[in-house]
Amino acid sequence: MAKPFVAVVGRPNVGKSTFFNKIAGKRISIVEDTPGVTRDRIYADAEWLTHEFTLIDTGGIDPGSTDVIRQQMKLQAELAVDIADVILFFVDAKQGLVPADYEVAALLRRASKPIITVVNKADTKRDEQAMYDFYALGLDSLYAISAEQGLGIGDLLDEVVSHFAEAEKEDKADVIRIAVVGKPNVGKSSLVNTIIGEPRTIVSEIAGTTRDAIDVPFSRDGTGYVLIDTAGIRKKARIEDKSIERYSVIRSFAAVRRADAVVVMIDALEGITEQDVKIAGFVNDEGKPCVIAVNKWDAVEKDTHTTNIFDKDIACDLAFMSYAKTVYISALTGQRLGKLFELLETARENNRRRITTGLLNECISEAVAMVEPPSDKGRRLKIYYATQVATGPPYIVIFVNDAALMHFSYMRYLENYLRKSFDFSGTPIKVVARNKND
């Protein structure tokens, strides 16, 4: 399932970034005593009690401020709250309850999301007593912690993951979610409208018309789908600092996170750009099954080699996504949309494919017999056995005598051999080496 989002919000300088760094396990957010140091949302994947989630650190909310930067920080935090499954509302035990806390609490309540009030900087017993003052905010769930000292964090995280059941329930709904991603004006909204047969999203020549990720439910051949039309993802340099478009991009990334399959759209008239590569890279990193849809194919002047030339460009520029199938479509005319859905369904099935341990080890044994494992300084890599530990994407662990001996090129060889033996088209797979005795 998609990882739930946990947003860390609150006034400036209440210890949000200190908590974020503690959970993330590394110093990602800048931590200073100066209020307002964290101006952008920062993301990190975390895990607690086998539950994986994405933590979002935000700039402090200062509701009454007219300062431009503070207003931008407020927008950042509001967006994080908008996509979050659980909200951690940080307050300051040492400073006590202040009027701005009431304003932030009122803003958060409108989100109708699980809200946990985190009374931070409770370094002493006296500080812990201050927790009870914050019940005046009208929020039921309160936890006193010291992010700096690591006190109370375990109990807090227990409460956080207890709210994931609802997100998991929604994630398991009996529909297939397909995110459509790409640069602005590549034809995402036109594709959605053509598929459902009506103009549900705005289509314009002006790039950036779609500002949010829009869910469009429909059915096809008796199967329920939700198409997620996303905002076009521009280069950062082309996004003005004060533009609301800047805040639409993360919704597109969140849409990829919750999708069952992804359509990566490329403009046939422009060819593959650096931004296309970055967008595809994000989809690949998220382990999502996908199809590359080259749109506006009806407008391309064709000769006998056009498709071959484009195929070669894709193979070169998107080499990390060699598993993805390509289809040349026209969102305007509906050309090859049937093929698009066929490839999406295959990619989704392969993303959930599970190979039995017996077949997997037969395959690995054949690969080892054909190409001997590498050695270093007289020590040779020895492969004992392999097993698949997860799906979505398929995750295969190979147990060896010393994982340090597993050269990158040999790991790539094993992955390619697995792909040749089993149908993993349309989906990334994870193959890792692990010491048998660990």
* Domain termination residue (choose one: 351, 382, 409): 351
User: Does residue 303 share a domain with residue 249?
Assistant: yes
User: Does residue 231 share a domain with residue 156?
Assistant: no
User: Does residue 264 share a domain with residue 406?
Assistant: no
- Please tell me the least confidently modeled range out of 177-191, 202-216, 375-389: 202-216
What confidence score (pLDDT) does residue 258 get?
A: 81
User: Does residue 187 share a domain with residue 60?
Assistant: no
pLDDT, tens only, 291-309: 999 999 998 887 766 888 8
User: Does residue 164 share a domain with residue 206?
Assistant: no
Query: 166-169: which pairs have CB atoms within 8 A and are 24 or more residues apart?
Result: 166/85, 166/114, 167/1, 167/4, 167/85, 168/1
**Residues ≥6 apart with Cβ < 8 Å to 403:** 433, 434, 435
**Angstrom distance (rounded) from CA 177 to CA 173:** 10
Looking at the structure of the chain, the number of domains it has is 3
Query: 341-345: which pairs have CB atoms within 8 A and are 24 or more residues apart?
Result: 341/220, 343/291, 343/426, 344/178, 344/261, 344/263, 344/289, 344/291, 344/426
**Angstrom distance (rounded) from CA 381 to CA 286:** 30
Neighbours of 352 (CB within 10 A): 13
User: Does residue 165 share a domain with residue 65?
Assistant: yes
User: Does residue 270 share a domain with residue 128?
Assistant: no
Average pLDDT of the residues in 278-290: 90
pLDDT, tens only, 111-166: 888 999 999 999 888 888 888 899 999 887 899 999 999 899 999 999 999 988 76
CA 12 to chain centre: 26
pLDDT, tens only, 211-242: 345 677 888 888 888 888 776 555 554 444 44
User: Does residue 118 share a domain with residue 201?
Assistant: no
* Domain termination residue (choose one: 351, 378, 398): 351
Q: CB of 275 within 8 A of CB of 183?
A: yes
Average pLDDT of the residues in 183-202: 76
What confidence score (pLDDT) does residue 432 get?
A: 94
Domain that holds residue 38: 5-170
The CATH number linked to 413 is 3.30.300.20
pLDDT, tens only, 63-119: 666 666 556 656 666 766 777 889 999 999 999 998 888 888 888 888 888 999 999
The CATH number linked to 154 is 3.40.50.300
pLDDT confidence bin for 371, thresholds 50/70/90: very high
* Measured CA distances, 134 to 104, 144, 154 (Å): 13, 10, 21
User: Does residue 34 share a domain with residue 128?
Assistant: yes
* Domain termination residue (choose one: 112, 141, 170): 170
